[in-house]
Structure 1
Amino acid sequence: MSITVTSVSKSFGSHPALNNVSLGIDDGMFFVVLGPSGCGKSTLLRAIAGLEPIDAGEILLDDVPVAHGTLHVSPEDRRVGVVFQSYALWPHMSVARNVAFPLETAGKRRPEVNERVAECLETVSLSQFAERRPAALSGGQRQRVALARCLAQGAETVLMDEPLANLDPHLRSTMEEELAAFHKASGATTLFITHDQREAMALADQVAVMWEGEILQVAKPDVLYQRPNSRRVAGFIGQSSLVPVTVDKVQGGSARVSFADVFADVDCPMTVKTGPATLVLRPEHLVLAPGGSGFQATVLRTVYRGGSWDVFVKVKGLQEPLRMTLDRRADPGEPLHVSVLRGWVLPN
């Protein structure tokens, strides 16, 4: 099922939770909305699910309007399933009964219910746990029960609201793999809400960065990381140094920039013009220069990351330190010779 959100707005009192939001999510896509707490991403999910009426705009599922003007199609008629942080499982029911519940409520016959439950549990690899109760399952297994229940009720779209937030880091990593496998097996369009950019990068076909009720950028994870469209996106996605530079020359998709007596050739969008600009430098964009070439920097501090060190260096002429990654320890006060391997000039 495709999802189309066009100019949707929603306010709670004087607070605009959604401000003219537009999105297009193709059938079968794993789409992630990423943003900090309070940015409106859960409100967007609830609006698509039909749990929250909208003030303006339009929402279509498979090109069929479900919300606009006075139209508000009820949640049960939208063919979407929602997975919350709490999983919302019945503790007194077995796994199979939890999955069967929406089918039984819809009045399906017992043979049909049993067959569908078996299919859904097989999809999420929980067939052997059919008679267990939720309390006897791990957090990841309970999450899969909630996913199976979405499939059982005929959901063509699965909406997940921070589903991994309550899991420990090790289990979250395992569940990322399981969610990817579930998506591939089910073929369901998946809208995943999270504040964790690592999750977003690991799972998404496309990511929408949301901030204060607005969508800042929609792109594939690698494009979002390598070519952010604003300072806010560049600062939120990954680690970066935002350096004021002068663009001296532009040719196609590359630019010659200068800052603090440093000259570098970097990537840029076609809209960039010569003059003042902002350069995004990721830690991997800075490397040690051989034979004393490059420019000089002084180590301020280091942070060990297990197999590598985050190194913060001071460059004469820059107010803020630059961040780079080394495979060896560097001590505070140590001089380094550094080169800019690549970078990205933000659009004008």
Structure 2
Amino acid sequence: MSIRLKSVTKRFGSHAALKDVSLLIEERDFFVVLGPSGCGKSTLLRSIAGLERIDGGEIHLGSTVVAGPQRHVDPEERNVGVVFQSYALWPHMSVRQNVAFPLEAAKASRQRVLGRTATCLETVQLTPYAERKPADLSGGQRQRVALARCLAQGATTVLMDEPLANLDPHLRSSMEEELAEFHARSGATTLFITHDQREAMALASKVALMWKGEVLQADAPEVLYDRPANERVASFIGRSTILPAEVVRVRGDRALVSIAGQTFEMPCRTDTQEGPAKAMIRPEHVRTSGEGRRLEGHVDRVTYRGGYWEANLRVAGQDQPVLVNLGHKATVGEPLAISLESGWLLPE
């Protein structure tokens, strides 16, 4: 099912956890909601699941309004599966029994329970572990049991609340691949909550960045990275430098801008106006070789990032250092000249 939120508001006392949130999650999307702790991500998920009553707006699952004015459909009637950070497995039950539980609770026939449970275990590749207890499984395997249980209950929409947060970095990486495969095999619409932008970029077909109860931008991962809607998005996604600039000329989606007395061309929105602006510069936009207009400065700090060094370059008259990726280790205080091959003019 698709998920549509229209101007959804949720308050806890005087605090607005969700402020007029509107989103469209298409059928079979792997949609990631990204943001820092306390921004409203989990409240959004719980509202879609029916675990929280909203104070305004509407939530649609497919063509059905499940939350709105004078309407609240109970969680068990929404046909969504929720995977929590804690997995929420029954410790005294085997893997097979945990997966079968929703079917048995719905009083499905024994044949239906056995067949559906076997199919779901095969989907998450846990058939050899069917008789084990959760305590005998790794964190990643427990996560897969929780996913299989969602499938067993017939959920066509799966909501995941920071499901990888309890795993070590190595296991998180392998589980990302498994989640992507699970999504492809199941055909479910998936809403995934995380504060980890690397995780979001690796998994999502679309990412919504939340901040203080609001959605700042919802786009494909590469759009958020290359063309952020504002300075807040640019600062949160990836590593970048925000520099004051002056737009000299605009032609279509390209602008000639002046930065620290030098002019460079970079992409922009077609409605960009001449005058003061801010330019987002990623490290990959910067070149330290070649000819042409260059910004001069000195290295303020050097950090090894694994395979390359990242230098903070102090340019005269600029408050923020420019991030530069180098193939060699620079020395603090060393002079360095750079050119800007691209960037992005942030919309007002």
The TM tier, using the shorter chain, reads: over 0.9
| Partner of residue 212, structure 1 | 212
Once the 2 structures are TM-superposed, how far is the Cα of residue 109 of structure 1 from its aligned partner?
Answer: 1.5
2: CA distance, partners of 1:319 / 1:79: 52
* 1:73-152 alignment, distance < 5 Å: 73-152=73-152
Deviations 1:77-133 (A, max 9, x none): 000000000000011111000000111111112121011010001001111110111
Secondary structure at 1:76's aligned position in 2? helix
- The 2-side partners of 1:275 and 1:330 are apart by 36
1:168 & 1:201 partners in 2: Cα distance? 19
Once the two structures are overlaid, the 10-residue window that deviates more, 180-189 or 257-266, is 257-266
Q: Which amino acid aligns with 1:288?
A: T
Q: Which letter maps to 2:283?
A: P
Partner residue, 1:65: 65
Q: How does 1:9-88 map to 2 (within 5 A)?
A: 9-88=9-88
Q: Aligned to 1:32, what secondary structure does the other structure show?
A: strand
Partners of 2:164 and 2:6 in 1: how far apart?
Answer: 28
1:9-66 Cα distance to aligned partner (Å, 9 max, x none) = 0000000000000000111000001111000010000000000000010011012110
Q: Is the 8 A contact 1:209 1:216 kept in 2?
A: yes
Aligned equivalents of 2:58 and 2:295: distance in 1?
Answer: 54
The answer on whether the counterparts of 1:285 and 1:343 sit within 8 Å (CA) in structure 2 is: yes
Matches within 5 A, 1:197-346: 197-290=197-290, 294-346=294-346
Q: Percent identity?
A: 61
**Post-superposition CA distance 1:277-315 (Å, at most 9, x none):** 000001111111236962322111111011011111011
Deviation at 1:347, TM superposition (A): 1.1
Name the amino acid aligned to 1:334: E
Aligned to 2:180: 180
Residue 98 of structure 2 aligns to a residue in which SS? helix
Q: Return 5+ residue gaps in structure 2 as ranges.
A: none
Counterpart of 1:185 in 2: which secondary structure? helix
Q: TM-score, normalised by structure 2?
A: 0.98
Q: CA RMSD in A?
A: 1.0
Q: Distance in 2 between matches of 1:143 and 1:107?
A: 25
> Following the alignment from structure 2 to structure 1, what is the Cα–Cα distance between the partners of residues 267 and 290?
23
Bigger shift: 6-15 or 106-115?
Answer: 106-115
Unaligned runs of 5+ in 1: none
Aligned to 1:162: 162
CA contact (8 A) 2:34 2:208 kept: yes
Q: Judge conservation of contact 1:159–1:191 (CA < 8 Å) in 2.
A: yes
Deviation at 1:334, TM superposition (A): 1.2
Q: 1:252 to 1:218 in 2, by over 3 A?
A: same
Aligned to 1:290, the other structure's residue is in SS state: coil
CA distance in structure 2 between the partners assigned to 1:277 and 1:289 by the alignment:
27
Give the TM-score taking structure 1 as reference length.
0.98
Partners of 1:75 and 1:293 lie apart in 2 by 60
Q: Distance in 2 between matches of 1:216 and 1:115?
A: 44
Letter in 2 for 1:316: A
Query: Paired residues, what number?
Result: 348
Contact 2:279 2:343 in 1 (8 A): yes
2:171 is matched with 171
Matches of 1:40 and 1:319 in 2, distance apart? 32
